[in-house]
Chain A
Amino acid sequence: GIQVEQSPPDLILQEGANSTLRCNFSDSVNNLQWFHQNPWGQLINLFYIPSGTKQNGRLSATTVATERYSLLYISSSQTTDSGVYFCAIGGYQKVTFGIGTKLQVIP
């Protein structure tokens, strides 16, 4: 099956700093999503981005499908950005998740 690797596994930021999270995948994809899991376990949709670039406020994402990676940018981080960020790849009939990047933003 498809392999999904996320880096870094852990990240600590000072409030106001910027960061880049990476997702590498092993095969061509039809569906790539970024999620933020809050402390209560809810997975919140950030981007549906099988290719190209999207922006939503302080967050943006870029997927280069031909090179099999996606990047999530967080600018001017806030404490509410803390949590785990997952990249998820939709392949044949199922979605595979990476292990996530655990982000802690400290004031």
Chain B
Amino acid sequence: KAGVTQTPRYLIKTRGQQVTLSCSPISGHRSVSWYQQTPGQGLQFLFEYFSETQRNKGNFPGRFSGRQFSNSRSEMNVSTLELGDSALYLCASSFNGAYNEQFFGPGTRLTVL
């Protein structure tokens, strides 16, 4: 069974631009969660999507958004990028959400200049 894939793996953007990251979960998994990892804040929950609906959201500004498609693939978008958005963005796949075992993708490393 293929693991969780994330694209792209690396991104360099400038302040003010927007970016879209993609995550394909494990086949059969319906939940995709997104996390931001920075040296100062650790791993922070962004949001979770389940069956194309956002089920929960962390404490991030509205510039961070996401969606999920009918095949469970998910995208997250960050608009009006700020220097502080530089981070490793990780997505996690699970069958049914936080109560189930989570499997992580390799991450997308975003650098904002």
Contacts and interface: CB of A to CB of B under 8 A. Distances in A.
Contacts of A45: 101-104
Contacts of B101: 31, 33, 45, 48
B8 interface: no
Residue of B45, B58, B97, B99 with highest tally of chain A CB at under 10 A: B99
Given A43-B90, A90-B98, A99 B107 contact: no
Q: How large is the interface on B (under 10, 10 to 19, 20 to 34, 35 or more residues)?
A: 20 to 34
B106 A42 contact: yes
Interface residues of A, number: 22
Interface string B85-112: 0001010100001111111101101000
A41 B35 CA distance: 12
A100 B98 CA distance: 19
A83 interface: no
Contact of B99 (A30, A40, A96, A100): A30
A42 B107 CA distance: 7
Nearest to B106: A42
Interface string B23-56: 0000000000101010000110100100000011
A93 B48 contact: yes
Nearest to A88: B102
A94 B43 CA distance: 12
Given A93-B55, A96-B45, A40 B97 contact: no
A91 B98 contact: yes
Interface of B: 33, 35, 37, 42-43, 45, 48, 55-56, 58, 88, 90, 92, 97-104, 106-107, 109
Interface of A: 30-31, 33, 35, 40-43, 45, 48, 86, 88, 90-97, 99-100
